[in-house]
Structure formats: structure tokens, C-alpha cells
Chains A and B, each alone.
Chain A
Amino acid sequence: MIKVTDLSHRIGPAPILSDVSLSLPAGKITALIGPNGAGKSTLLSLIARLTPLQHGQITVAGLDVARTPSAALAKVMAILPQNASVHSRLRVRDLVAFGRWPHHQGRPGPEDRAMVAAAITRMGLDALADRFLDALSGGQRQRAHLAMAFAQGTEWLLLDEPLAALDMAHARRLMQELAALRDAGKSVVLVLHEVNYAAAWADHVVAMQNGRIVAEGPPAEVFTPAVLEPLYDMPLRVETYAGRPLVLNHL
């Protein structure tokens, strides 16, 4: 479980998060949704200790994020930062292999190699494994970074807008892979802008606005016009398809 207590965060004078307290369940897919500037990415990067904590407390699987050594946390959670684009001329295989670095510190064993190969296959990158990153498209590079996060093999996987550069085939495939990871006992937290991906795949949804949590619960409870209309400040309809909410936000 990830437990966030009394979290506040400012960038300069601007409050980004105000008194956020929540718990994210283990063994589930949790989606953070909300309009631009709601504080979703800040929350995720605070949980992932990419941004130093100003006020409040966060524990991941019982480990206090502010006190636990970063190297120990790297074995518990993997983070895909937003816009993780690089100018490095690494081969895809080398990048994915760095996902195992927290476990072997430079001396990969057979198990590490197996996990790297599995992560490459999982993201459909076998044909691209020996290509340089700067010879890939944005979406392919995104998949390479996702494969690196998978290779880390952690209990928790935190993904900031993982669908951002993916076409719809790869977006669905990613969600299927995340569901498979969840079924294998892992926990996933992701920031999503496509509400329908959250509606279709998430087990738990956290809706944020202006640095606060405005709704939390299973998709059927959060994806209602009563919650979504004020959240995004737009009128919309919500239908039900195959037992899941379907938001008609584009019409």
C-alpha cells in the first residue's frame, strides 16, 4: 500500500498540492485523473522521491520515502517520469538493462538478463532491441522506457502519462500488460489523460483538481457526470459498455 498523509507542496508561492491524504491499494491498477495542473504528476513524483518532500509523509510498502535510502526504494518501486526522452545514443537493449541496475550495481547475472529479455518482449521491442534510441520514434522510445521500468521488476510501478506517445494498438497492449502484472500480484499507479482507458482498465480511480482529491473509488463511482462535469468543467455523458463506464467526452 502507498500511504500519503497531510501532503502539501509549493513551487514558489503557488500551492501545487494542499493537504492531500490518501492510500493507494496494493495489487491494483490505480489511475490518477484530473485536468491539467491538478497536481497529478507532482503527487506521483513526490511518491517516487524524484521531488523532495516539503510537508507531509509518504510511505511505499511501509518504507518512509523521505528516510529510506534511494537505492533500497529502487528495488520496491519503478518510476517512468513524464517526457523521459533522452539524447543519449544508447541501444534499446542497453537502456532496458539499466532497469536491473538497482539489483546488480553493474554485475548483471543470468536472472537479470532474462528479465531484460522478457521486458523487451513484453513491450514488443524485439525487432528494435539493437537500434539506437535516437533512431526511434517518440512512441518507440516511450516503449523502451516502459520496458526499462518493467525490467526493474518492482512491486510498485509508477507511470506518468505512459500513453502519451503511444498509438492505440500499443496503448491497449500496454494496458493489457499492466493488467497481467496486476494479476501477477504487482501494483500499478498511473497518471492518465484518456479517461476511458482509466474507466476500462483501472480498479481504483483518484480524481484531482487544484491540488486536492475530489473523488476516489472504483470507476463506476468516479466516472459519473456528477463527478466529471465539475472536474473538467464541461458537460458530458457517461454510458455503460460491457459493465464499465464509457465517457462520451469527445462529442
Chain B
Amino acid sequence: MNRPALLLALLLVPLAGASLGVGVASLSGDGLVFWVSRLPRTLAVMLTGAALAVAGVVMQQLVRNRFVEPGTTGTGEAAALGLLTVTLIAPGAALWVKMLAATAAGLLGTAAFLALIRRLPPQEVLLVPIAGLVWSGVLGAMVLHIGWQTDLLQLVGIWLMTGEFSGVIAGRYELLWLAGLAAALAIFAADRFAILGLGDGVARGLGLNPRSVMRLGMVVVALVTALVMATVGMVPFIGLVVPNIVSRVMGDNLRASLPVTALGGAALLLACDILGRLVIHPYEIPVSAVLGVCGSALFLWLLWRAPRHG
């Protein structure tokens, strides 16, 4: 384990401890609050943060652009569209069917985005994130329209607007383990994504099929996004800020940096979640709102600060 990973792991311990301790209800003697609410919430936050950060890196390698994440390239909106469709067509469908529909739609949305940006001139770095914002805006408008027409806006709001963890209890977050598993798969395939980031020519020259690496990456991105969106709602900025900070400090040797990115995502989201629980105690601010503030500040700082060389 490298030094940044060790430091972050050590940081996660007190954060997790604080998260287990912070809340309105006091931890009762029978441990009910702890086992049903606090522990699931803490795990859910860490899994979400880690998975989103890793999915952000994967997306950035697929697109070869640092300024995108699944939330700004239409993946989340597409997954919401799939989930909405299946909710309308088959309201009683099993959870796994809904998840499958959301993931498949997220996959399609990501594939469409990748096809879309293929036509953009590669030297215009900022066109890619702008195209992503437009694409996610179009998909989001479709979701809103259908939601409005079918009186499902409330559901849509939960998915796309406010990612938050106050509703997480045992039995209602376990799908996030699957998102964590997808992120672990990406960490396992880190070299492939790093090589893909060097360009199709280099990847082919080293005997990799860029298309199959891309498909793997798209599955990881779609799976993580769909599961997070449906379980706790979209959480912005994690996939953007954490990978960029890690890349500035450690570079893009993903084999070394992806575990750090995962730990960093977990730590940042956990810190923001705890903050959201404390600011207007005994009430809560959604973690996505806290992140919106902290994340945009961090991102501006990233843009202004010169990269570290050497």
C-alpha cells in the first residue's frame, strides 16, 4: 500500500467513528439504532463515495478528458429515464428488473455520449464537458417531462436532485455493495484503463482491444451510476473532484492511484455527510447540497492551481 492510501485509510477510521456516533437518536443499549441506521448509513456513504470516484476516473479515461464525470455526461439522466420507463410499464417489477433497466439505459446513454463526442475536434478540450452537459440536459428534460405528465416528479426529484443518506436503513442500501463491486472490478483492471487513456493506437500496439476495454468501462460507469441514483440519488462532484486531486498529486498510473481515489471518495463524502448532519442539528442538509458547495469550491481551486510537476 502506498503512502497516500495509508494516510487516507487512517483518516477514514475516525471519520467512520464519527459517522457512527453522530445523529439525533442516542445509541440505545440494544444496539438497534446502530445496526439498523448508523452502520448501514456509514457503509452506504463510503461505498457510494468510493464507487463514484472510481467511476469518475473510468469515465475520464474513456473520454480522455479530465472534466467529465458520469453525472455530467448523461449517464445518470439516462439511467433515470430507464428506471422511470420500467416504473411506468411494470410498476410491480422486481427490484433487480428495475436496476437492470436503469443500468441498461445508463449504458445506452453513455454509449450515445461517446459516439457524440467522437466527432468533436480532440484539441478543443472544453467541448467534451460542454457536450456532456447539453446531452445530460436533453435527457434530464425528457425525464422531467415524462415525470410531470405521469405525476412521478417526486420520484424523479429523489433520483436526480437530492442525493442524501438520511433514508438509508438496513435492507435499503445493500445494492450499493454491487456498485462497490463494480468499482473493485475497475481497480482490478486499472492497467487496461490507463493504457486506454494513452490512445487507441498505443492500446492496440500493446495487444489490447480498445473497444472491449471501453465496453468494460461503460458497464462499470453505468452500473455504479444507476445503483447510486436509484438507492440514494445523484451525488455530484465526487467523480470529478477526487480523481482530479489524486491525479495532480500522484499522476495517472491507475494501478497505484485508483485505490487512493476510492479511499479519497469515501473520505470526502463521509466528511460532507457528517457536516450535513451537524450544520443545522437536529435537522439535516442533504449531502449533495454540502458537496455542491464544497465540491465547486474545490473544483475552482483545482482549475486555478498549477499542476505539480516532477
Contact = CB atoms under 8 A, between A and B. Distances in A.
Interface of A: 45, 48-50, 69-75, 78-81, 84, 86-91, 94-95, 98-99, 101-102, 106, 130-132, 134-135, 149, 152
- Of B191, B197, B253, most buried by chain A (CB within 10 Å of CB) is B253
Nearest to A105: B191
Contacts of B205: 48, 50, 74, 78-81, 149
Given A70-B207, A70-B209, A88-B198, A131 B247 contact: no
Contact of A81 (B194, B201, B251): B201
Contacts of A50: 200-201, 204-205
B252 A90 contact: yes
A35 to B, nearest CB: 23
Given A70-B209, A81-B199, A90 B253 contact: yes
Given A73-B207, A88-B252, 15 more contacts: A71-B208, A72-B207, A74-B207, A78-B205, A86-B198, A88-B197, A89-B247, A89-B252, A90-B198, A90-B251, A90-B252, A94-B253, A102-B207, A132-B309, A134-B309
Given A81-B201, A87-B64, A98 B206 contact: yes
Contact of A86 (B197, B207, B310): B197
Given A98-B206, A134-B307, A91 B251 contact: yes
B243 to A, nearest CB: 11
A251 B253 CA distance: 48
A101 B205 CA distance: 11
B242 to A, nearest CB: 15
B195 interface: yes
9 residue pairs, one from A and one from B, having the closest CB atoms = A74-B207, A81-B201, A71-B207, A135-B309, A79-B205, A94-B253, A89-B251, A89-B252, A102-B207
Nearest to A72: B207
Nearest to B251: A89
B21 to A, nearest CB: 38
Given A70-B208, A87-B64, A135-B309, A81 B202 contact: yes
- Of B66, B247, B309, most buried by chain A (CB within 10 Å of CB) is B309
Contacts of B64: 87
A145 B88 CA distance: 53
A79 B198 CA distance: 13
A99 B207 CA distance: 10
Contacts of A132: 251, 307, 309-310
A98 B307 contact: no
Interface string B207-249: 1110000000000000000000000000000000000000110
Contact of B309 (A72, A73, A131): A131
Contact of A131 (B195, B307, B310): B310
Contacts of A102: 206-207
Contacts of A87: 64, 66
A81 B199 CA distance: 10
Interface string B172-202: 0000000000000000000100110111111
Contacts of A90: 194, 198, 251-253
Nearest to B64: A87
Contact of B201 (A70, A84, A95): A84
B195 A101 contact: yes
B310 to A, nearest CB: 6
Contacts of A106: 191, 255
A135 B307 CA distance: 9
A134 to B, nearest CB: 7
B134 to A, nearest CB: 22
7 contacts: A74-B206, A75-B207, A89-B247, A132-B310, A134-B307, A135-B310, A152-B206
Contact of A89 (B199, B202, B307): B307
Given A84-B199, A87-B64, A101 B191 contact: yes
A48 B207 CA distance: 10
Contact of B253 (A73, A86, A91, A135): A91
A135 B202 CA distance: 20
A115 to B, nearest CB: 14
B210 to A, nearest CB: 10
Interface in B71-86: none
Contacts of B206: 74, 98-99, 101-102, 152
